[in-house]
Amino acid sequence: MKSCVTVSLVPEAKGGPFVFWDDFRAACQSAGELGFDAVELFAPGPEAISSIEISECLAQSNLSLAAVGTGAGWVRHRLTLTDEDPAVRTKAIQFVRSMIDFGAQFNAPTIIGSMQGRAATAEGRGDCLKRLAEALAELGEYAARQQQRLIYEPLNRYETNLCNTLANGCQLLDEVRQPAVCLLADLFHMNIEEVNLAESLRNAGSQVGHVHFVDSNRRAAGFGHLSFSPIITTLHEIGYEGFLSAEALSWPNPLAAARQTIDMFHQTR
Ligand code: LER
Ligand code: MN
């Protein structure tokens, strides 16, 4: 498994679970000095930072780009892939496509988290899930054409009523039927929703394509009460070789959260 730390350049997401903020160059320097393998980028859009600058910063610190997030499509533009208005859905698809193009330049997959939206009523959930499956199939095919994956993230019940568990996510992927689409196991959401984190990871098996490595309280791994050893053991058992990406609060400060993460990474992997 490989280590990774998040960087947010989205002002609207302030206070959210990202370790480094605002300055991609400085974040890459710190991540490189601490020995991370990669960074995960949460950007306002594909034009937020030039491709040349990203390549330079990554190369200087010997990092790869693990993934790009699309949450700005929601927090900044209020777009979701399941909005009842087809015009909004079209804009949401366009935004995600532009992020897939952006990530593909650095061989990085794209994450769909909060852009999945939520059903306005319990009765509307079925239709909403259908719209989500259609969008993931279309975007997954788009990503596959660029030899990239699309990562779908189940979220806890306070953020969506569509898929809250990895098992829900696996069911959705059965509908999507596009091998380029995989699941993101975010340990913070899983701590709220899963009965047993290790068992859920085992059941999801090869569908797990990315991990948000974080503790129960959304602080860096080891700053909460999750037991990491059964989680890491299970990830080895299912043959997971991807990133453990710290999508955690910058508590008590970015550098301390990053240092805690990399220490925990070395202790547990
Ligand atoms: C949101 O809670 C989250 O976990 C992010 O990865 C999705 O944008
Ligand atoms: Mn997450």
Q: Is the pLDDT of residue 33 over 90?
A: yes
Contact yes or no for 83/116 (Cβ under 8 A): no
Longest dimension (CA), the chain: 52
Please name which of 180, 230, 177 lies closest in space to residue 202, comparing C-alpha atoms.
Answer: 230
- Distance between CA atoms of residues 197 and 87, nearest Å: 38
Instruction: Provide the percentage of residues in the chain whose pLDDT is more than 90.
Output: 99
Average pLDDT for 34-47: 97
- The pLDDT-based confidence of 269 (bands split at 50, 70, 90) is confident
Residue 221's Cβ-side half-sphere holds a number of Cα atoms within 13 Å equal to 29
33: CB partners within 8 A, 6+ apart: 61
133 lines ligand 1 (CB under 6 A): no
Could you tell me if the CB of 154 is within 6 A of ligand 1?
no
- pLDDT, one tens digit per residue, over 120-152 is 999 999 999 999 999 999 999 999 999 999 999
User: Which of 170, 153, 222, 166 has the alpha carbon at shortest distance from 193?
Assistant: 166
Nearest Cα residue to atom 7 of ligand 1: 113
10 burial level (CB within 10 Å; 0-12, 13-18, 19+):
buried
Pair 115, 92: CB distance under 8 Å: yes
| Ligand 1 atom index nearest CA of 159 | 2
pLDDT at residue 223, as a whole number: 98
Name the average pLDDT for the chain.
Answer: 98
pTM, two decimal places = 0.98
Tens of pLDDT along 208-237? 999 999 999 999 999 999 999 999 999 999
Q: State mean pLDDT over 71-85.
A: 97
Q: Is 247 a catalytic residue?
A: yes
Grade residue 119 by pLDDT with cuts at 50, 70 and 90. Answer: very high
Q: How confident is residue 37, by pLDDT bands cut at 50, 70 and 90?
A: very high
Kindly report the protein residue whose alpha carbon is nearest to atom 2 of ligand 1. 155
